[in-house]
Amino acid sequence: MSEPIVVGIDGSECANHALDWAAAEAVRRHRPLHIVHAVDRSPYRSPLFTPPETSERIAHLSHRLLDDARERVQRRRPGLETTTLLVAEPVPEALAPEAEKGFELVLGNRGHGGFTSLLLGSTGLRMAARTTVPLIIVRGDTGDSGEVLVGLDLTKDEDTTLSYAFDAAALREARLRVVHAWLMYPPYVAAGYTPEDRKIDAGIREQVAAVIAPWRVKYPHVDVVEEVVIEHPVSALTNASRNARLLVAGGHERGRSAPHLGSTGHGAVHHAHCPVALVPR
For the chain, 281 residues long, the average pLDDT of each consecutive 10-residue run is: 90 92 97 92 56 71 94 96 93 90 91 45 75 91 92 93 98 97 66 62 91 98 95 92 95 56 77 93 81
Q: What integer pLDDT is reported at residue 112 of this predicted model?
A: 53
pLDDT at 192: 60
Structural domains of the chain in order of their starting residue, each with its CATH number: 5-137 (3.40.50.620), 147-279 (3.40.50.12370)
How far is Cα 213 from Cα 209, in angstroms, rounded to an integer?
A: 6
> Which residue pairs, CB below 8 angstroms and at least 24 apart, start in 73-81?
73/19, 73/23, 73/33, 73/35, 76/20, 76/23, 77/23, 77/24, 77/26, 77/27, 77/33, 80/23, 80/26, 80/27, 80/32, 80/33, 81/32, 81/33
Q: Are 148 and 244 in contact (CB under 8 A)?
A: yes
Residues 6 or more apart whose CB falls under 8 angstroms from that of 132 comprise 99, 100, 254, 280
Predicted pLDDT of residue 89 = 86
> Residue 253: what pLDDT?
65
pLDDT score of 259: 47
With CA atoms as reference, report the closest residue to 268 among 258, 254, 278: 278
Looking at residue 175, what is its pLDDT? Answer: 98
pLDDT at 258: 44
- CA nearest neighbour of 62 among 40, 42, 81: 40
3-class secondary structure per residue, the chain: CCCCEEEECCCCHHHHHHHHHHHHHHHHHCCCEEEEEECCCHHHCCCCCCCCCHHHHHHHHHHHHHHHHHHHHHHHCCCCCEEEEEECCCHHHHHHHHHHCCCEEEEECCCCCCCCCCCCCHHHHHHHCCCCCCEEEECCCCCCCCEEEEECCCCCCCHHHHHHHHHHHHHHCCCEEEEEEECCCHHHHHCCCCCCCHHHHHHHHHHHHHHHHHHHHHCCCCCEEEEEEECCHHHHHHHHHHHEEEEEEECCCCCCCCCCCCHHHHHHHHHCCCCEEEECC
How far apart are the C-alpha atoms of 174 and 147, rounded to whole Å? 6
pLDDT of residue 148: 98
User: Residue 141 has what pLDDT?
Assistant: 87
> How many Å apart are CA 188 and CA 184, to the nearest integer?
7
